Amino acid sequence: MKWIGLELKGLLTIAVATIRDDGTLVKANAGFLRLINMEGEQPAGKRVAPFFIQPDFALLASMEADTEGRIYNGLLTLGDYMTQARTLRTRIWRVNSELHLLAEYDIEELERLYDTVLALNRDYADAQFRLAQTNLKLQQREAEILTLSLTDQLTGVGNRRQLEQVLPVEISRAERTGEKFCVLMADLDHFKKVNDTWGHDTGDEVLIRFGKLLRQQTRVTDTAIRFGGEEFIILMPHTPLEQATAIAERIRGAMGSCQLEVLRDPITVSIGVAELAAGQQGTEFLRRADTALYKAKASGRNRIMVG
């Protein structure tokens, strides 16, 4: 029987091949060559065993033939598993030391199916990318909303909600690590007079200037907060009392040299400083700083006191 005649040679709707037991190709039609990505070639003698993925060629070559010489009838996956592979309904016979393969699958339909799958995969990848971009934008927006919810809109420093979140965390960290933790409580001197004399717009400008000054004079590990009105709190983790007092003095000096054109005199600030004591809760910690601030104001303002 002439296994691969002219009527089969150019067909793409079936795959036909003759392969030796050692996995080298004797002859194949266009359909089979298309499966192994060798269209237009006739690579006789080329080893094609690696293109047999499931079952592999060694297993097929070792199978016993039935009474009709057939050794396999079922699904066979052919191709390169790293790039492109196809599964076909296949029958294989043994003729002496050669295997005759007939794949009864519409290769053109398979190509269309493969192209459809590729298109779906591309669409899925595009959708996944767009979804990831959308999720990133949502996360960024959520972060922006969270930041806004913890920020005093006038001065740009934190608000009381941020104080409620950060203070217990820093106290717990200080207790766990044994590191020093200080707090500054600052109050702008004679601020009511500014509002009463020059108006609330000028008062707001003073608050904005002080918020900017605090962001400039404190460290990234510090948290500056507008506690209310003209009163501000600065949480200073990893900071001993002496260092916190020096930073407070730097803030006081910087504010004293900050002059608004509309004001005849510079605005000064009084600051109370406290260092966290062992076992102390947040309320008592802030109360000590507030008591020190009261003493600073009672002693003439524009000064620093330690509580």
Residues paired with residue 234 on neighbouring β-strands, in sequence order: 184, 224
Nearest to 17 by CA among 86, 85, 95: 95
* Residue 129: strand pairing partners: none
Q: Count of alpha carbons within 13 Å of 192, Cβ hemisphere only? A: 0
Query: Is 98 a residue of the active site?
Result: no
In contact, 102 and 91? CB cutoff 8 Å: yes
The residues near 258 (Cβ < 8 Å, ≥ 6 apart) are 209, 210, 213, 266, 267
Kindly name the residue from 108, 109, 230, 275 that is annotated as catalytic. Answer: 230
Strands 84-95 vs 25-28: parallel, antiparallel or unpaired: unpaired
Q: How far apart are alpha carbons 180 and 276 in whole angstroms?
A: 7
Enzyme catalytic residues: 230
